[in-house]
Structure 1
Amino acid sequence: MKVALLADTDGRWKWAARLAARLAAEPEILGYQLWTHELPSHRQLLEAGVRPEQVRQLTPSGLLEALATDLPDILVVAAPGGGCQAVLQLLAAARLEPRPLVLTGYVGVVYENPVDGLLLRAGSDLIGVNSPADLEQFAGVLTSVGARPESLVRTQLPFLEDPAPRTPSGRFAVTFAGQPGVPTSRAERQHLVQRLADHARRHPERDVLVKLRNVPGELATHPEPYPYDELIRGLGSQRPANLKVIGGLMSRALSRTDLLVTVSSMAAVEAIHAGVAAAVLTDFGIRESLGNTYFLGSGLLAGFDELDRGLVPTVNLDWARQRGVRELHDDLPGRVVQALAEPRGELVPFYNLTNASGLLPRLLAGYGVGPDGRPLPARTTSVLRKAVRSGARGVYRHGTTVIGPALRRLAAL
């Protein structure tokens, strides 16, 4: 089976590669980098399970040419809703014959803009849905707007695998799973570092481990403005000896963890699945913008004061089952086999210029696609603006990951 993966960031590459591995024992992988993003590092691609030499960065017209020249059985679109919509409109206008089976889905838990993201994916042959709760909600949405709920397929949450063997150190380990984009302000991130340091001082019998999301300087799904390793170094002599920074895979970190602490990271779900206790912090409130509203009813919401007093939350198993945790239910491989054996008609995205004339032109232009679904010329103004935005993102990342840290180190001298 030949599977083409179209992704943009390291996390989505990881999701797409693992999904492909579930669809076939030894799939032939074609890797296409979404044209709006820079390539992840070689380390990130290898950690995702993708060989860097398999990946090509393509323009919209380049993607169509690649699909026509070397037709895959399946095209996995691992992109946010806007990227999925751009690919759907591009393929629908091109009318490739034959064409690949188009599969989309969700890289993690869905806690914000569920209708927006779903309708931008609607029109794909198959949409992977990660939990019974999401499946029920999404089917209701598609039915209410006259779209096909049959495209929805129950699959498992990404990154949930058989837990790694436990490797306890003999000391109780509290692991904080940091997130690049939540919270965003320096003051809030400094607050978290200070509370972690306070916890380490209160509990010298524990190891407090801060798990970094990426190696400093690497691109990620969300840029990190104030990296935790820098903030911890800023503690200087006030840093407790049992407050440590670690990297690597989350599965390895969980193998030595007794309590996973996070603001709203997917790592909490991984911990539940692995049988590791987890706490989702409420120090900044329970808010959609933080993502911790997803954990309402889980039994995991807690503040640092409670953790300092020794609280180890217990998950609500009914909540976990409704969200696809602690069970690896996956209908997707069977549905893919069935869909590949059936004739495929033209792709028909839910959105078109009749029902979304104010949305599509601007959204698609940001991806170098015209309102008619055809690739825009490279010199089109909207594409140039996109290039400028991409360059600005690169400057921003360079500033936050290279220049900013250097200036902060100089200021500390």
Structure 2
Amino acid sequence: MPPRRIAVLADSDTRWKWGASVARQIAPGHALDACFLRGRSTPTERQLAEVGIVPDSQRVLSAAELVDDEELASADIVVLAVLGGTVLALTHSLGLAWEGREHRPVTVSGYVGVVYEKMVDGLMTRAGTDLVLANSAYDAGRFRSVFENVGIDPESVVECALPFLGGDPYRPSGERPFTVTFAVQPSVPKERQGRLRLLERAAGHALRYPERQVLIKLRSLPGEQTTHVESDPYQLLVEELAEPAPPNLQLVYGNMGEVLDRTDLLVTVSSTAALESMHRRIPTAILTDVGVREAHGNHYFVRSGCLASWDDIDAGALPQPDPAWAAAQGIGRTDPYAAARTRIAALRAAGPLPPLRPYYSPGTAGIYLTGILRNNGFDEKGRPLPAPLGLGGARGAGKVVRRVAGRGARKLYRMGHQRVAPALRRWGAV
């Protein structure tokens, strides 16, 4: 019998981390196949290494190429770790391509982090996958309520937790300096001045507490894409500090879990790293300096008891989350993916899976669906669009991609060589 396989479709490093972590939880004995969607945020080898989950195979394809992919069709489970619109397009088009097959994969979708905006928008595009994972009891209740009211089976919503919540519980260490980690985000806040001011406050904290280590946890290299575009990387902003930063301020890369291993206080605006930190009972501060706003996502933490400013942190604040709030967010749960594994087993035991059918169809939302399909390389019937005229098919498209990629690589190399590398050497990034 061939080995059982679970495929993860991912369009960025962040979604690969979520999808691969989910795969390890719901199918620990399966071979892991990585299918990265070709696009702006296709993860680099460095980004994949930072996540730390090595697939058994990996390849890069377009959404349209996946429709006729036999390896994908023969997988036992497919995790759709992509944007909601792409989930909808693939559920529609794969449903047509797989119709009539004796076997099709169980499909799984969900959210990479907390759902703090456009809940109904994103949820409706995921409707139609066999499992829609909810990262908490709070989310599961909201999702099921929406599905019930529009006629979608609420049993497809399965309560779990963020899959990368783990690691050893926090214990203060007297063998190293007290360490404050500022987990930055590519687009929160978006404004250059706000990002620079947060960096200045972190540097000011390091100056105030010379016995502490202050880490700026970076997400990506300048020019390297992730889920969100970063227009003003902290690696470059550090050169614009009004005063030279003290030696106990350090820029760091690496796996978030490993950084948390040496963290005594996690500081962020709204990164999901906050939930990882809370799960391990590390003091966690959700910054209010740029406001508590839906645009920043930190409004999600209003009831957590962890809102704090840099002034509070300078004064010694070490926030811990409210236990009831933390429990409602899935923090601290044991084996949160047992229900998902049970659901998958029940679907298989019931016989051949029914055809994939998203909620949005030509009859319910033809105008909206057509736009989503075209944005993902399909025509209004869900068939792959032909290559644009002038590209000469796949070979011509490949030449264009290589030419554009070459220009981008040269630009990135110049930026790295002339600006980033000297900055990283000065600031000790690792």
Q: TM-score, normalised by structure 1?
A: 0.90
- Distance in structure 1 (CA, Å) of the matches to 2:293 and 2:163: 24
Checking the alignment, whether the CA contact within 8 Å between 1:166 and 1:256 is kept in structure 2 is: no
Cα-to-partner distance string for 1:175-210 (whole Å, 9 max, x where unaligned): 100111111221111101111111112222221111
- Distance in structure 1 (CA, Å) of the matches to 2:329 and 2:369: 32
Checking the alignment, whether the CA contact within 8 Å between 1:45 and 1:52 is kept in structure 2 is: no
Cα-to-partner distance string for 1:362-406 (whole Å, 9 max, x where unaligned): 12111001221221112279x99x99xx99997998799666677
Matches within 5 A, 1:282-297: 282-297=288-303
The secondary structure found in structure 2 opposite 1:252 is helix
Are 1:340 and 2:348 counterparts? yes
Change over 3 Å in CA distance of 1:286–1:104 after alignment to 2? same
Change over 3 Å in CA distance of 1:30–1:53 after alignment to 2? closer
- 2:427 counterpart residue number: none
- Distance in structure 2 (CA, Å) of the matches to 1:196 and 1:392: 41
- 1:33 counterpart residue number: 36
Consecutive unaligned residues of structure 2, counting only runs of 5 or more, are: 424-430
Matches within 5 A, 1:57-68: 57-67=60-70
- Distance in structure 2 (CA, Å) of the matches to 1:209 and 1:72: 41
The secondary structure found in structure 2 opposite 1:150 is helix
- Distance in structure 2 (CA, Å) of the matches to 1:392 and 1:174: 43
Checking the alignment, whether the CA contact within 8 Å between 1:127 and 1:151 is kept in structure 2 is: yes
- 1:246 counterpart residue number: 252
- 1:154 counterpart residue number: 159
Checking the alignment, whether the CA contact within 8 Å between 1:224 and 1:400 is kept in structure 2 is: no
- Distance in structure 2 (CA, Å) of the matches to 1:127 and 1:70: 20
**What fraction of aligned residue pairs are identical, expressed as a percent?**
40
Change over 3 Å in CA distance of 1:139–1:310 after alignment to 2? same
Matched residue type, 1:160: L
Consecutive unaligned residues of structure 1, counting only runs of 5 or more, are: none
Matched residue type, 2:94: L
Q: How many correspondences in the alignment? A: 411
Change over 3 Å in CA distance of 1:248–1:59 after alignment to 2? closer
Q: C-alpha displacement at 1:243, in angstroms? A: 1.2
RMSD over aligned Cα, in angstroms? 3.2
The secondary structure found in structure 2 opposite 1:326 is coil
Change over 3 Å in CA distance of 1:280–1:403 after alignment to 2? farther
Q: C-alpha displacement at 1:62, in angstroms? A: 2.5
Checking the alignment, whether the CA contact within 8 Å between 2:41 and 2:226 is kept in structure 1 is: no
Cα-to-partner distance string for 1:133-153 (whole Å, 9 max, x where unaligned): 000001001111111111111
The secondary structure found in structure 1 opposite 2:384 is coil
Matched residue type, 1:254: L
The secondary structure found in structure 1 opposite 2:303 is coil
Matches within 5 A, 1:131-150: 131-150=136-155
- 2:428 counterpart residue number: none
- Distance in structure 2 (CA, Å) of the matches to 1:316 and 1:281: 16
Checking the alignment, whether the CA contact within 8 Å between 1:223 and 1:397 is kept in structure 2 is: no
The secondary structure found in structure 2 opposite 1:355 is helix
Which of 10, 16, 19 is 2:19 aligned to? Answer: 16
- Distance in structure 2 (CA, Å) of the matches to 1:81 and 1:402: 33
- 2:225 counterpart residue number: 219
- 1:83 counterpart residue number: 86
Q: C-alpha displacement at 1:408, in angstroms? A: 6.5
Q: C-alpha displacement at 1:8, in angstroms? A: 0.7
The secondary structure found in structure 1 opposite 2:68 is helix
Checking the alignment, whether the CA contact within 8 Å between 1:164 and 1:251 is kept in structure 2 is: no
- 1:375 counterpart residue number: 384
Are 1:199 and 2:202 counterparts? no
Q: C-alpha displacement at 1:37, in angstroms? A: 4.4
Q: C-alpha displacement at 1:101, in angstroms? A: 1.0
Q: C-alpha displacement at 1:219, in angstroms? A: 2.8
Checking the alignment, whether the CA contact within 8 Å between 2:216 and 2:250 is kept in structure 1 is: yes
- 1:56 counterpart residue number: 59
213-222 vs 99-108, greater mean Cα deviation: 213-222
Cα-to-partner distance string for 1:121-165 (whole Å, 9 max, x where unaligned): 001111111100000001001111111111111112121123278
- 2:277 counterpart residue number: 271
Q: TM-score, normalised by structure 2?
A: 0.86
